[in-house]
Structure 1
Amino acid sequence: MEIWVKYALEYLNISLSVYQQEQFAVYEQLLLEWNEKFNLTAVRDIGGIRIKHFLDSLTCTKALGDLNGKNLADIGTGAGFPGIPLKILFPEMNLLLADATGKKVNFCQHVIQTLGLKNSRAIQARAEEMGLSKEHRERYDVVAARAVARLPILCEYLLPLVKIGGVMIAQKGETAADELAQSKKAIQILGGKNQSILSVSMPFFEDRRYLVLIQKASATPFNYPRRTGLPSQKPIL
Structure 2
Amino acid sequence: MLAQAPHPASEALPLVRIVGLNKWFGTLQVLKDIDLAVRAGSRVVVCGPSGSGKSTLIRCINGLERFQKGTIQLEGTALGRNARDTATARRQTGMVFQSFNLFPHLTVLANCTLALRRVLLKPASEAEEIAMHHLTTVRIPEKAHAYPAQLSGGQQQRVAIARALCLNPRIMLFDEPTSALDPEMIKEVLDVMVALAGSGVTMVCVTHEMGFAREVADQIVFMDEGRIVVHASSKDFFSRAAHPRAQLFLDNILNH
TM over 0.5, shorter chain: no
Over alpha carbons, which structure has the higher Rg? 2
Query: TM-score, normalised to structure 1's length?
Result: 0.32
Question: RCO greater where, 1 or 2, for CA within 8 Å and sep 6 or more?
Answer: 2
